[in-house]
Chains A and B, each alone.
Chain A
């Protein structure tokens, strides 16, 4: 492993080149915003199948670059691979939270839809009965941004338990964007310069006014429950109107259309690039990105591990199960058990490191955006989460949780042991950093020393 920290601008150039998106222009400190007050933002990054907690969890206290657990060593920086550029160290930007207990929230295994929830389901195990963390924060952090939040998912899996991680109240799934091109169009196709009345915008506004009138007439005929449901439609109108009339931050120029892309790695990278750009342009303050559903992410385009320890084309799910599951990498079946287990463990480490590198890519991208008060990362908290803790056993305890950024003065570069506190305690602590008073969130006191 060559650890080769790169200067920040190199990362950016790499990112822009790989993407053919002129990120650099947009990410330069040209937001001529008069307000110097720090914005507050939140980014949730979901990657499935947990990890091997024993190879992920550092000791509580300051993180030691020389003594990181195997899964976290790339927090010291890493090389380019495939579509991903090399990355700077993120060690000083991240606090590792070990030992949170998610089992009371997600009572079944492999349920990504519960990953950002702090409470159980709506009489089931897959639709959260309260808004997920990103949606809770969206109401508080939106400010005057045109996009209340971005809910992004790279999987085409439509199952409600697998295909989305964002839910509003009463188990209502937030609509997820599944195509980077669609996200690009939503964010930037309307044009990013305010050059006076645009006929297309006027027409769209005329349509929205008309259907809003129509909805108001309809509303008068409906019963109370139907009127409540129709509120989703009014909210949608209001959201589109805000977006239509938004003027992106000065200096933000639209990137090139990324076109149709396939593959969850490619999609996730574009989602990161575009959503960081959206934050840089003050188009949104809240993003939730689901890298994959539980089953379908694999590493055939990458070289993770070498020789027999290579992950090859096995899926992350199969690798997470090591030796004894039907869903396992069967090429180890003929080896003696000690040898096979050593290799299976090494493969889980290789996958976990990959996951951390993708999170690090996001962190570095946010750190590279200079704002009037620092960087985008300074204004944010960036949560890494999964649906399982130990991917092998499916335990929803000892969850892999990373929290980066400095919103609310959050201190990084350390490890906090949650000592089996529930996810609600983690979420409460995150919410508290935004200045929202929570002494008891979803039945738990916030993790005190986070």
Chain B
């Protein structure tokens, strides 16, 4: 009994090996299908763009996280990529923060649900540099991206787009020409900030913007906080976290948030026959960076996505969404910037000032006690 089992087992094994040999030799024949895409650091290493695209189609899916459709026109980006390459895109946690993106990757490590790519703020990006969280990859346009080498010379993290903070408000409230207009009683209970500065970088940048407009610097936010205190005392500032629904319904008609989010609201309101205006008292910006997860379940698609968003197509999509891609200066110089994009963000080469990680941390320490004092409720 045992003997025959052994024989049949070895015959089966031999058959399997015999049948596998042609398959194995067939794959060694073309370098691409044997390429381990999680180790590829440039497109040419992987066999060029077409090989990358083919490998991605074989993988069939891309996992993205925390990419709201109204954020810098990611809606068009996602649908465009899915259509061009015929892959399914799994979107997780649209409202997640940068930290939550990394946490999701760690939490779901080893599963097929782990995010492939990240779109994160500078603070979180810098925090995880060199920790083995990201897989280095330099896109084809890498040398033309503003500030890419400064952030990471190996391409672990690549700056993607920047935006400026702005105050968006419903046209029904008139026009705001200066900051003190916000203290007017007609704004009672209407002004909202996107989140809390201790947690949300958008809120922190909002405070920086008002602070700068009043003459303050990134190292000293007292003027900004004092202004918010005035707004709160007048009853104009509310602690509600604005969402799409609250903006549409008029519950938060004045929102201090990233410009590329506001751009989407402008479009939405226009389509509905209403007006959403923007007022930018000072220019404060932030850069969002793209990175590939070191344990991405779909490494080829992740790299293809990087090439797409950081390349010309992606840059024009970002531009028409109101965000300034880091490739923009190059595109304008070579005349390849889309008309839509130029209409949206102009040809400006000046990137808005942004706070460093150290300045943000110092401001946070100050705000931990000063912010609740200024705008806290009983």
- Whether chains A and B associate is no
